[in-house]
Structure 1
Amino acid sequence: MSHHDIHILRMNYLRGPNIWTYRPAVEALIDIGALEDCPSHTLPGFNERLLAWLPGLVEHHCGVGYRGGFVERLCDGTWPGHIMEHVALELQTQAGMPLGFGKARSTEQRGVYKVVIRTQQEEVGRQALHSARDLVMAAIRDEAFDVTACVQRLKALIDTHALGPSTASIVAAAAQRRVPAIRLTSGNLVQLGYGAKQRRIWTAETDRTSAIAESISRDKDLTKRLLAACGVPVPEGQVVTSASQAWEVAQEVGLPVAVKPSDANHGRGVSLDLKTQAAVEAAYTLADSEGSEVMVERFIPGQEHRLLMVGGKLVAAARGEQAFITGDGVHTVMALIERDLNTDPRRGEEEEFPLDTIRLPENALVMLELQRQGLTQDSVPDAGRQVLVQRTGVMTHDITDEVHPEVAEMAALATRVVGLDIAGVDLVACDISKPLHAQGGAIVEINAGPGLLMHLKPAVGQPRPVGEAIVEHLLGPSDDGRIPVVGITGGEHTAATAMLLGWLLHRAGRHTGVACQNGTFLHMQRLPTGRTSEWEAGQRMLMNRSVHTVVLENSARTILDTGLAYDRCRVGVVTGVPAPAGLEDHHILTQEQMRNVLRTQVDVVLPDGCAVLNADDPICLGLAELCDGDVIHYSQHDQTTGVWHDNGQRMVCVHQQQVVLRQEQTITSVLDLQHPMISSLLQHHAPLPAVLAAVAAALALDVALPLVRAGMETAALVFPSV
């Protein structure tokens, strides 16, 4: 039987919290057509082919809640949309992006489904869903499908678009502490926190990293002179300008020597333990091709170590190992490297691998090391002969707990001398558990922006929580980097509510940003931003270092198209749950569906935050049970008599021409509706529900009642003249 394709009608990338999940996700609208009549158990051989290609599907719990749950659903019969969801998630997992959340839901249109998967990267999620469609169709039609090639394409997208492992570890550590993050570029520049409380990282550099200190660290000769002046042990040596001078200096400092570029990093162009003129001169040529200046310095015997210093404290340390091959009298050097070294799972071309693949003859340092031993890449070493392939750059063993306190303090002194807040201190010592001076050890380099992978995934020893250490360094032990964020959604009056609340906060002395239908405002001055989406305007406010509070309006369409611009909020305002209009493309047709869209605003209220809900709308009133934090209701009607919520929730309502705050049996006057300025505001600019919502939100943000009153009496100033 021939089956027509599954058609992907549309894909949306949901960047923030949405109707499905708090996290970024890709939502696909698909049409399975006649396959609506063909659940999985009716397709001959389908389940067997699918599980043979993706045996990891047995780990999927699905809605059943236990291992094998999805396979059970397959055997009982399920539909292609649901299967696509699980296949896309499994393909992401195989590519190194394990994310377990997915949903597949039918719409009112027969054969049309919404399929949603979580993803950390838009390009990866989109491709995963396309590949899942192709794989499912191949399994249905009993056609060939190259799963390995499919996974490799996803891996390539991850390598191209996702955060690098060092940056990702910091962002993950921030997420564990509920610190929000915004990726500022397609690279590794990331903002942690919002507004005035934000910090920025770029791999393992931060907005506390001094540009002068980074420049000093790149100049190895200058670094060494500064360290020596402060009593830090460093190898003697000097900068040279020719191969002949390199040999002269080598003889002066005493053989053996090390030759390296003055701005070396990652061990590039560094040659060690040089004992002959030919070796020194060849090393000079190699180093000269890598950096602006070449240094010759005394070779320090011992093992290489990398100490990661964060905020002047040792947080991780690794020891290097040299890379050897052993001859067998049959295979060439190149073949032995491929067989014995490049097959190491720690080696690879991508940034996620702690060790680089050794490529010959491209790796000049390895070629020089072989030359010193009288070998070439085509030589066949005798059986049992050990050949040194690589001396540097292979940090594999975690030795954090072995570092002597004096060594850690010496490394801390070195980072203070250079001025770096985060540094990789390279030192050579025979025994890291003993002081450097006693054993003739020395610090040989200070590196800004050190790689973290060697500490996150050591070949031997315990991984270290270096991301957590960097987040704590930036934000302190308990700071979450958040400023108060107010999100406003609902039916009518959302823009007016945003403008009024922004004005109240501004008059209360808070540096406030507002983004709503009326425009984007900083300190209640309109910004010339041009046409931007609500999500883009919200992100701009959250990225602005001058704001201490942000007020953002969110339409139902924004929630459906892109998700919210923020992960959580201090205050979530819902002005009502109207009947849906204009959302047919999202298959939102009923008021209950509209409730599920707008509840997103309540779902993201922080536990120490507050939802502000319109009590005159019964559906909106019912959202209170979904809030993790407090709730303030507001009503145009007199709610000061009778029993209102026994749990002590606050109510802003109207009583005898006054806006009042009721809590339990206490009634406090907030505004006089007969005040000329308030009366004019209501008549010309803002309806009463918007005033009540803004007052309630201001109280949720702990704005004092006199300031609320004074601000509202002058609020007409924020609206255009009529």
Structure 2
Amino acid sequence: MVNNFMSDWAISSQLIIDEAEKMGIKNRILSKKNNFFLLEKEGKKVYFKSVDCGLNSAFGLKISNNKELTYIFAESNDIRVPKSIYIDRENYNSINLENLDIDFPVISKPVNGAHGDGVSLDLNNFEDLKRGLDFSFQDKSVYRVVVQEQIEGEDHRIIVLNGKVEAVTKRIPPYVKGDGNSSIKELIDKENNNPLRGIGGDHDAPMSNIKVDSELEKYLEAQGYSMDYVLEKDKEIFVRQNANLSSGGLALDLTDIIHPEVKKQAEKIATLAGLGFCGVDFFCKDISMGIKKGGGAIIEINATPGIRMHHFPSKGKSRNLAKKIIEAIF
């Protein structure tokens, strides 16, 4: 059972193993380091690499692994995505940014990035844009960055399994609550000692540690705070701009209130791309409102979405995706 959250491998893998045991399905861990294991029932063997068990097509993987292809594919199928412009590393320094046809605010992010790495939000002018692009290109593996209209609203992860939405969470940035005595640094340290949090990038606990880096410090500074500031009692502030779970974000289950229009869009792109199991990231003000009324757009697709946030939401009903995945293959 998942009672040691700080295990050597991802909690998503352990959740599937635990559920398989409950269902009487044989299982064997082949490589903990690589999150590689086997389930077997009535002579049928299915290999897993964490949540990946062969439900996704090679075409779907190519689409989901490249944000530029995701947006082109979505637009060609009348699926709402943000207006985007692409900038290559090789000609970045020769571009006059002020000649770009963009309306602020925008965001910038690598087309081949993941886990929120290299992403900058709330870029409100060309000076901000230059800073965001410099930040994205700091990683030498980044060859192209997308500059994109910033969709107003909040970040939602929609899980689609075999063409049907099975779980929805709203992801919110990590925050701290003041006690009138502790600095923001001390409040973050205290929250990171929460036994339900673990090492951020490893996805080995129900929640990740709040990642402390220059990006966090710059975000605090933009709000008029520093790490040494003693936060007033009961005052709450976000300490990161990004809601990504790997850097400490929280998840609220909203599965029961997703609007049919939003559900249809998520199911459509997953099915057309040949993705039997994926996470569709959707930005909107209120996911219970339709797209026509409330707006919103698909931001990206993740072909290997972690399931821990759905099993262990910070608030709301737990969704047993491990069981649904197993039922889908046996």
* SS at structure 2 position matched to 1:166: helix
1:265-280 aligned within 5 A: 265-280=114-129
Indicate the residue corresponding to 1:185 in structure 2: 31
Q: Which has the higher contact order (CA 8 A, sep 6+)?
A: 2
| Residue 232 (structure 1) aligned with residue 79 (structure 2) | yes
Q: What is the TM-score with the length of structure 2 in the denominator? A: 0.85
- CA deviation vs aligned residue, 1:576-610 (integer Å, no higher than 9, x gap): xxxxxxxxxxxxxxxxxxxxxxxxxxxxxxxxxxx
Checking the alignment, whether the CA contact within 8 Å between 2:160 and 2:279 is kept in structure 1 is yes
Indicate the residue corresponding to 1:414 in structure 2: 269
Give the whole-Å Cα distance in 2 for the aligned partners of 1:444 and 1:246: 26
Give the whole-Å Cα distance in 2 for the aligned partners of 1:405 and 1:198: 36
* SS at structure 2 position matched to 1:253: coil
- CA deviation vs aligned residue, 1:214-266 (integer Å, no higher than 9, x gap): 232121111111101101110111222337859547x6331111111112222
* SS at structure 1 position matched to 2:210: coil
1:343-422 aligned within 5 A: 343-349=193-199, 351-360=203-212, 363-379=213-229, 387-391=237-241, 392-393=243-244, 394-422=249-277
Q: What displacement does 1:212 show?
A: 3.3
- The letter for the 2-side match of 1:295 is V
Tell me: CA distance 1:346–1:194, structure 2 relative to 1, closer, same or farther (3 Å): closer
* SS at structure 1 position matched to 2:118: coil
Give the whole-Å Cα distance in 2 for the aligned partners of 1:194 and 1:185: 20
Tell me: CA distance 1:265–1:385, structure 2 relative to 1, closer, same or farther (3 Å): same
- The letter for the 2-side match of 1:169 is L
Tell me: CA distance 1:422–1:243, structure 2 relative to 1, closer, same or farther (3 Å): farther
| Residue 314 (structure 1) aligned with residue 165 (structure 2) | yes
Give the whole-Å Cα distance in 2 for the aligned partners of 1:372 and 1:279: 12
- The letter for the 1-side match of 2:218 is L
Indicate the residue corresponding to 2:48 in structure 1: 201
Give the whole-Å Cα distance in 1 for the aligned partners of 2:52 and 2:180: 48
Aligned residue among 160, 166, 176 for 2:22: 176
- CA deviation vs aligned residue, 1:545-583 (integer Å, no higher than 9, x gap): xxxxxxxxxxxxxxxxxxxxxxxxxxxxxxxxxxxxxxx
- CA deviation vs aligned residue, 1:632-678 (integer Å, no higher than 9, x gap): xxxxxxxxxxxxxxxxxxxxxxxxxxxxxxxxxxxxxxxxxxxxxxx
Give the whole-Å Cα distance in 1 for the aligned partners of 2:183 and 2:128: 23
Give the whole-Å Cα distance in 1 for the aligned partners of 2:302 and 2:105: 24
- The letter for the 2-side match of 1:370 is L
1:560-575 aligned within 5 A: none
Tell me: CA distance 1:327–1:169, structure 2 relative to 1, closer, same or farther (3 Å): closer
Indicate the residue corresponding to 1:300 in structure 2: 151
The percentage of counterpart residues that share the same residue type is 28
Aligned residue among 463, 471, 479 for 2:318: 463
* SS at structure 2 position matched to 1:255: coil
Indicate the residue corresponding to 2:192 in structure 1: 342
- The letter for the 2-side match of 1:166 is S
Indicate the residue corresponding to 2:3 in structure 1: 96
Aligned residue among 208, 218, 221 for 2:68: 221
- CA deviation vs aligned residue, 1:300-321 (integer Å, no higher than 9, x gap): 1111110111111111111112
Give the whole-Å Cα distance in 2 for the aligned partners of 1:244 and 1:337: 41
Checking the alignment, whether the CA contact within 8 Å between 2:29 and 2:36 is kept in structure 1 is yes
* SS at structure 1 position matched to 2:188: helix
**Aligned-pair Cα RMSD in Å:** 2.9
Give the whole-Å Cα distance in 1 for the aligned partners of 2:66 and 2:286: 27
Give the whole-Å Cα distance in 1 for the aligned partners of 2:178 and 2:96: 33
Give the whole-Å Cα distance in 1 for the aligned partners of 2:196 and 2:136: 27
Tell me: CA distance 1:273–1:216, structure 2 relative to 1, closer, same or farther (3 Å): same
Tell me: CA distance 1:221–1:246, structure 2 relative to 1, closer, same or farther (3 Å): farther
1:577-596 aligned within 5 A: none
Give the whole-Å Cα distance in 2 for the aligned partners of 1:372 and 1:244: 29
Give the whole-Å Cα distance in 1 for the aligned partners of 2:252 and 2:205: 15
Q: What displacement does 1:192 show?
A: 1.7
Indicate the residue corresponding to 2:11 in structure 1: 165
Q: What displacement does 1:198 show?
A: 1.5
Tell me: CA distance 1:246–1:188, structure 2 relative to 1, closer, same or farther (3 Å): farther
Q: What is the TM-score with the length of structure 1 in the denominator? A: 0.41
1:289-688 aligned within 5 A: 289-290=138-139, 291-325=142-176, 331-339=182-190, 341-349=191-199, 351-360=203-212, 363-379=213-229, 387-391=237-241, 392-393=243-244, 394-475=249-330
In the alignment of these two chains, the number of paired residues is 317
Unaligned runs of 5+ in 1: 1-92, 98-154, 476-722
* SS at structure 1 position matched to 2:31: coil
Indicate the residue corresponding to 1:111 in structure 2: none
Q: What displacement does 1:385 show?
A: 6.9
